[in-house]
Amino acid sequence: MAASFYSQAAANRRNSFVLVVVIVALLAALGAAIGYGTTGAVEGTIGWLGIFGIVAIASSLLGYFSGDQVVLAASRARPASEAEAGQLFNVVRELTLAAGIPMPKVYLIEDTALNAFATGRDPAHASIAVTTGLLERLDREELQGVIGHELSHVRNYDIRYAMLVGVLVGTVALVADVFLRMTFWGGFGRRSSSNERGGGGGLQALIFVLAIVLAILAPFFARLVQLAVSRQREYLADASSVELTRNPYGLERALATIADDTEVLEVANRATQHLYFRNPIRRFEERSKGLFSTHPPIVERINRLRTLTGEAPIGTAGLPGARSAD
């Protein structure tokens, strides 16, 4: 029996929630280890967790209110007019009605590469940016699939979700770096030695060593979890796009066409690559493996769509032109 987009969406939401819990647990473990390892007291543990919380909240507020404008400016996106992109506006308006969300602002990126992204803190403050190459190459059904995917990111609050994950991962990296630098220069080492002479015992020394190990490894594993969350949200947006368009074939054909595109999106960078419909940094994408990619392989995305209609999966060789228009 073919899987429904409801079951796919539910599974991806569960997986994403579990991955965020893993990052929070990693952050808490690092804070607890640093706090006790440097002070030998429960109060020190609570204090370090408080520092983590303040940094995370401040970063979240900054990204929440200004992150979308920074992304649009970095991508050189300009406001589009309905006169120059009538079909795009028509598709966006049609699918926002289906999704039950406000009409987002529409932007164009002057580039021949085939790509798009959505940004904004919530559906009432959302924007969609599409490359001119995408508008030129895709037909209406394919464009509906891509826009449905991006509007699903908006409706599912994926941008806010990605920001939360990014802040957590950034907090792990920031505090781990500060701790390691202070340890290297002797600030924490002298304090730890003094506590041991005062009777802190071997437990504190053991926890201090554990804190160093966590500070080295935690940013790496937190980044892996962030990438896994990004891939899960892409699967969820694909499934939600089918829910909006009631047509898996348009999105499947769009994925196949975009996979065959060799153009490089010049304005993309590593800070914004996770936002796009497809990873725009091709050199990275070609060398990447599953754990280190911001997006799932396009073949896997197509095959998940094919499960919705009960069709056999395709291999890499069958990717270009995976399905002709009906």
Integer Cα distance of 172 and 24 in angstroms = 9
Integer Cα distance of 203 and 240 in angstroms = 50
Cα angle value 9/13/17 (rounded, 5°): 170
For residue 72, give the 3-state DSSP assignment: helix
Active site residue 82: no
The answer for residues whose C-beta is within 8 angstroms of residue 242's C-beta and 6 or more apart is 5, 148, 248, 251, 305, 308
| 19, burial (CB in 10 Å: exposed 0-12, middle 13-18, buried 19+) | buried
Token couple for 129: 């940016």
The answer for residues whose C-beta is within 8 angstroms of residue 184's C-beta and 6 or more apart is none
Integer Cα distance of 139 and 20 in angstroms = 37
Catalytic residue among 150, 196, 252, 300: 150
Sequential DSSP letters for 14-58: HHHHHHHHHHHHHHHHHHHHHHHHHHSSHHHHHHHHHHHHHHHHH
Integer Cα distance of 275 and 143 in angstroms = 17
Could you list the active site residues?
150
